[in-house]
Amino acid sequence: MSDGKREQWSSRLVFILAATGSAVGLGNIWKFPYITGENGGGAFVLIYLLCIASIGLPIMMAEIMLGRRGREDPVSTMKKLAKESGHSSAWGILGWLGVIAGFLILSYYSVIAGWAMAYVPKMASATFSGLNATQVDTVFSELVSNPMLLIFWHSLFLFLTMTIVAKGVRGGLEKAVTYLMPMLFILLIILIFYAMDTGYFMQGVHYLFNPDFSKISTDGVLSAMGHAFFTLSLGMGAIMVYGSYLPNKTSIAQASIAVAFMDTLVALLAGMIIFPIVFANSLETGAGPGLIFKTLPLAFGNMNYGTLFGTLFFVLLVFAAWTSSISLIEPAVTWVIKTFKISRLKASIITGFLVWLMGLMTVFSFNLASDFTISSVISTTHGEFVILKNATAFDLLDYLTSNIMLPLGGLMIAIYAGWLMKSQYSRAELDISIFWYRLWLFLVRYIAPVMVIVVFLNAMGIIAFIRTVVEA
Ligand code: PHE
């Protein structure tokens, strides 16, 4: 997509593929399993699914709708549409928040994608073949404790991302998603068969789908909601930018459902692969960000054609991360181009360099600076509220973006689309029957904002505080 005249996706399918490419990424395969493990399984998954359906889907429709009506970068779109409905152009700030969130997320996303890249040659050279869990763990620890190595892979991944962004997203992206997404899917299915073969498949399924609410904290609920935004690429303008290239005739509702469905499917498949392996090898469910790097190599190292499948898997994971990372930085780049009136190439170089620098924080948080941590715990008579516990710079960045910035962005998008925008405009854009339109409006006006606010207040201990006061 070039910046002058706005191009459009060549078909509806391409938009769905591109949006799915943005949605499906490390969030599904790397993050979903490890945060599910950290938050005790089933209850977390249930809340996550609920958030996808009741908040994620309507907000996705809102974002695509705003994008298509505005047909500009998120900042200009928010300003323009606010004016169109007779409101202040200060709403441009919302676009800003998104630009910053995308920038911050990419800074650590690129480091993790770098890990996945580092695993490609490891897999291809059969490093893991026949290794046991402890040995696999050592390989991972050696990688993350080496800052130079992490910087190398982080730089390479970011370079690949910015190359595509500099060229204009469409050409490369369309091709990548058309072939690679289906391949990733096939590999996940192969891995599911492996997971079934471990003898612990049902235990894994039980862990994922049997909610035990005693295992989840208020902060876990916030993480589940934050992850719903993260995994669907919502709350920061990524899907808005993609929507801005959407032809007028395409049904926004159908496209959103398709994207949310595929995204959720990939995450659940990943969970159903990882947890049986965890249980079969007596690993820790709460192993944290290293979880897939400690479990999957174990599977590949001990299965037929493991070298081939393992290599292919990590290649595909890198591609999935790549198509997401492009959309993370696209809002920032389009904004830089417009604001500073420079070429796409220059804008990409400058933005890419800044993201790279910022990424060093994450790199060092796994080695040199791993002891720099902060904790924030609020004690009330209703229990302790652990907001952050021994959080490194990476944890902090992740928390700030996923759990705060994206839900906050989503909240404002819901209010903007539901309350500010004249309903004649949203009605015309969405073009769905009056029943579905009313349902959508109800969700973005009431359900999504209230849920986000309640979850926020709950995680900050404010609801418990109020209860203490009322009961006293
Ligand atoms: N949805 C992507 C993933 O799951 C990450 C992402 C977040 C991409 C926000 C764009 C915007 O990996």
Residue 2 has pLDDT above 50, yes or no: no
Q: What is the 3-state secondary structure (H, E, C) of 164-201?
A: HHHHCCHHHHHHHHHHHHHHHHHHHHHHHHHHHHCCCH
| CB-CB contact of 204 with 272 (8 Å) | yes
Q: How far is the CA of 155 from the centre of ligand 1 (A)?
A: 19
- Say what the pLDDT of residue 6 is: 65
Quick check: CB of 403 below 6 Å from ligand 1? no
Phi, psi angles (nearest 5°) of residue 422: -60, 135
| CB-CB contact of 20 with 409 (8 Å) | no
| Domain architecture of the chain: domains with CATH | 12-370 (1.20.1740.10)
Pocket-testing residue among 230, 398, 406, ligand 1, by greatest number of atoms within 8 A of Cβ: 230
Considering the chain, what percentage of its residues have pLDDT values greater than 70? 94
- Express each pLDDT in 75-118 by its tens digit: 888 898 888 888 888 888 888 899 999 999 999 999 999 999 99
- Express each pLDDT in 117-170 by its tens digit: 999 999 999 998 888 989 999 999 999 999 999 999 999 999 999 988 888 766
Quick check: CB of 21 below 6 Å from ligand 1? no
Quick check: CB of 231 below 6 Å from ligand 1? yes
More confident residue, 164 or 56: 56
- Express each pLDDT in 459-469 by its tens digit: 777 777 777 77
* Residue nearest atom 6 in ligand 1 by C-alpha distance: 233
- Express each pLDDT in 413-426 by its tens digit: 999 999 998 888 88
> First and final CA of the chain: distance in angstroms?
60
- Express each pLDDT in 273-323 by its tens digit: 999 989 988 888 998 899 999 988 988 888 788 898 889 889 989 989 998
Over range 195-210, report the average pLDDT.
93
**Looking up tokens 């509220």, which residue turns up?**
385
Per-residue b or e along 202-217, where b marks 16 or more CB atoms closer than 10 Å to that residue's CB:
eebbebbeebeeeebb
Residue 441 has pLDDT above 90, yes or no: yes
Measuring CA to CA, which residue among 410, 329, 324 is closest to residue 60?
410
Q: Is 390 helix (H, G, I), strand (E, B) or coil?
A: strand
Over range 253-267, report the average pLDDT.
95
- Say what the pLDDT of residue 7 is: 64
Q: How far is the CA of 177 from the centre of ligand 1 (A)?
A: 15
Cα distance between residue 100 and residue 269, in whole Å: 31
Q: How far is the CA of 323 from the centre of ligand 1 (A)?
A: 9
Phi, psi angles (nearest 5°) of residue 380: -135, 175
- Say what the pLDDT of residue 44 is: 96
Over range 443-457, report the average pLDDT.
91
Quick check: CB of 323 below 6 Å from ligand 1? no
Task: Give 56's Cβ-side CA count (13 Å radius).
Answer: 26
Atom of ligand 1 nearest to the CA of 30: 12
- Of these ranges, 265-269, 337-341, 369-373, the one predicted with the greatest mean pLDDT is 265-269
- Express each pLDDT in 169-188 by its tens digit: 666 667 667 777 888 888 89
Cα distance between residue 361 and residue 222, in whole Å: 24
Q: How far is the CA of 248 from the centre of ligand 1 (A)?
A: 25
